[in-house]
Amino acid sequence: MTEKSRHKLVIVAIIISTVPFLLLVPSPSLWGLTKSTALWGSSVAGYIGLSLLLWQFILGTRAISGLFFKDLAAKLKLHSWLGTYGIVIFLLHPLLILVAYAEPWQYVLVPSFKNGYESSVTWGRFALLAILLIWLTSAIVRGAISYRPWKYLHYLAYPVLFLSLQHVPDIGTSFKADAIQAYWICYVAITLLCVALRLRHVFGFDKLAYTISFNKQLSDSVHLLRLTPQKRAPGLRAGQYVYLQMGLKTEEHPFTVLDYSSDGDLLVAFKIYGRFTQKLALKLPGDTLLVDGPYGSFLQEPSVPPESVFIAGGIGVTPFVKRALEQPGHYLLYANRTRQSAVLRTVFKKALGNRYTDILSRQDGPLQAGEVSGRISSQIIEQLIPNAPSKHYFVCGPESFTQHVFQELLRLDVPPNQISLEAFSF
């Protein structure tokens, strides 16, 4: 099954698992602008919100969704789409409660433990406050928050799920219906299964141990790692990536496998950016790394036609190395600041000849053969690639780079279905 079909299947599963609440929640005694209609709407919205929350948990947790998806970027897009817009349904639940009982807005936000009923409502209030915080930091001000604080705030989704599951049987008026209870039991079972899969991942049961054979410095900021499997190796295809981890319960970061051998050794080239890559650069031969993967469908779908054009921004060259060297009919446009930062350029030049071009934005002095000065643009692509609009393009690098090149390719009238992008961030 292709990744696109898997994606569609999951969307269908989300709809099929969510829509029945419209039918299962007992209908109001009187339809219209009545208290019973508001309570019915509130129950339906609450259950659908809970269902979407569980789907977000499934899609946002690699240990679970990675068993089904290889293309994590696409399923993360679906996860964030549900998170951004699903909030509307989630919010309808408390809003309709306010309408039904004519309570002031503070009722749904201010915690109260004055009796058992109010305590149960308060689990829902906490869930609502946490959801609002996650939504604000992820959908509204994500750009202003750095990666790690954002990630830790996102972990609030775990208590939210459990608080919501606790809130429903305690006070849900529609919960008395057998069908709803059966559905709710399924949700609890699925949640527990997801938690078990997550714990399996945290304790490393789905990861492979590798020994570092070498850690070579290729340029000021780029290193090349060779990893040898301690027991078994994953089946890989060119362009896929793995998550590297320095020990259990530490951070995991994604890196493309630049090359791999038949006995399972992996080559990874990484650029030093922050905390993780700084530590990785200090690792020595003989040290162990944990590997999770492979993931990714870049350069797999659609299949790569002959004479495709690979466009790399800096370390974004890694997915192209194996294909460019083994199938030299392709073009490689490699964008860097200077010649020195274009790692492996001599290897590419030798293999690809005049199908390889360095695009250098800050190179001092005269240019050499096969070099172009400036930022990659539609004019540069048109100059370098014969019959440019008819080619297939594969673009990889930082998000801003892939988006810029995408716009330039559209300017050249390249159809969007001939352009595949891989951004080095999620």
Ligand X SMILES: Cc1cc2nc3c(=O)[nH]c(=O)nc-3n(C[C@H](O)[C@H](O)[C@H](O)COP(=O)(O)OP(=O)(O)OC[C@H]3O[C@@H](n4cnc5c(N)ncnc54)[C@H](O)[C@@H]3O)c2cc1C
* DSSP string of 320-388, one letter each residue: GHHHHHH-TTSEEEEEESSGGGSTTHHHHHHHHGGGEEEEESS--SPPPTTEEESS--HHHHHHHSTTG
Could you say whether residue 214 binds ligand X (CB under 6 A)?
no
Could you say whether residue 336 binds ligand X (CB under 6 A)?
no
Which listed residue (70, 271, 355, 392) binds ligand X by CB under 6 A?
Answer: 271
Contact 71, 20 (CB under 8 A): no
Stretch that binds ligand X, among 153-161, 165-173, 269-277, 285-293 (CB under 6 A): 269-277
User: What are the beta bridge partners of residue 362?
Assistant: none
Q: By C-alpha distance, which of 63, 377, 310 is closest to 206?
A: 63
Could you say whether residue 201 binds ligand X (CB under 6 A)?
no
Could you say whether residue 75 binds ligand X (CB under 6 A)?
no
Nearer to ligand X, 50 or 396 (CB): 396
Q: Exposed, middle or buried by CB within 10 Å (0-12, 13-18, 19+), for 392?
A: buried
Which listed residue (289, 315, 359, 419) binds ligand X by CB under 6 A?
Answer: 315
Nearer to ligand X, 157 or 180 (CB): 157
Stretch that binds ligand X, among 133-141, 153-161, 267-275, 406-414 (CB under 6 A): 267-275
Nearer to ligand X, 78 or 165 (CB): 78
Which listed residue (318, 336, 363, 402) binds ligand X by CB under 6 A?
Answer: 318
Q: By C-alpha distance, which of 199, 200, 212, 276 is closest to 245?
A: 276
Contact 281, 223 (CB under 8 A): yes
Which listed residue (255, 334, 348, 394) binds ligand X by CB under 6 A?
Answer: 255
Could you say whether residue 70 binds ligand X (CB under 6 A)?
no
Element (H or E) spanning 212, and its range? strand 208-217
For the chain, how big is the Rg over CA atoms in Å? 26
Nearer to ligand X, 113 or 273 (CB): 273
Could you say whether residue 270 binds ligand X (CB under 6 A)?
yes
Q: How far is the CB of 256 from ligand X (least distance, A)?
A: 3
Q: How far is the CB of 16 from ligand X (least distance, A)?
A: 30
Closest CB to ligand X: residue number: 274
Could you say whether residue 401 binds ligand X (CB under 6 A)?
no
> For strand 222-229 and strand 208-217, is the pairing parallel, antiparallel, or unpaired?
antiparallel
Could you say whether residue 356 binds ligand X (CB under 6 A)?
no
Stretch that binds ligand X, among 74-82, 127-135, 205-213, 270-278 (CB under 6 A): 270-278
Could you say whether residue 204 binds ligand X (CB under 6 A)?
no
Could you say whether residue 342 binds ligand X (CB under 6 A)?
no
Which listed residue (111, 274, 305, 374) binds ligand X by CB under 6 A?
Answer: 274
Nearer to ligand X, 52 or 321 (CB): 321
Could you say whether residue 69 binds ligand X (CB under 6 A)?
no
Could you say whether residue 334 binds ligand X (CB under 6 A)?
no
Q: By C-alpha distance, which of 160, 142, 141, 36 is closest to 90?
A: 160
Could you say whether residue 273 binds ligand X (CB under 6 A)?
yes
Q: Tell me the one-letter amino acid at 41.
A: G
Q: How far is the CB of 248 from ligand X (least distance, A)?
A: 15
Half-sphere exposure of 215 (CA within 13 A, CB side): 19
Could you say whether residue 241 binds ligand X (CB under 6 A)?
yes
Q: Which two tokens stand for residue 14?
A: 């989300």
What whole-number distance in Å separates Cα of residue 109 and Cα of residue 185? 27
Q: Tell me the one-letter amino acid at 16.
A: I
3-state secondary structure of 306: coil
Q: How far is the CB of 270 from ligand X (least distance, A)?
A: 4
Q: How far is the CB of 278 from ligand X (least distance, A)?
A: 6
Which positions from 143 through 172 interact with ligand X, judged by CB under 6 A? Answer: 147
What whole-number distance in Å separates Cα of residue 189 and Cα of residue 384? 57
Considering CB under 6 A, how many residues would be counted as binding ligand X? 20
Nearer to ligand X, 7 or 35 (CB): 7
Could you say whether residue 277 binds ligand X (CB under 6 A)?
yes
> For strand 371-373 and strand 356-360, is the pairing parallel, antiparallel, or unpaired?
parallel
Contact 182, 46 (CB under 8 A): no
What whole-number distance in Å separates Cα of residue 48 and Cα of residue 18? 6
Q: Which residues bind ligand X (CB under 6 A)?
A: 147, 241, 252-256, 269-271, 273-277, 315, 318, 424-426
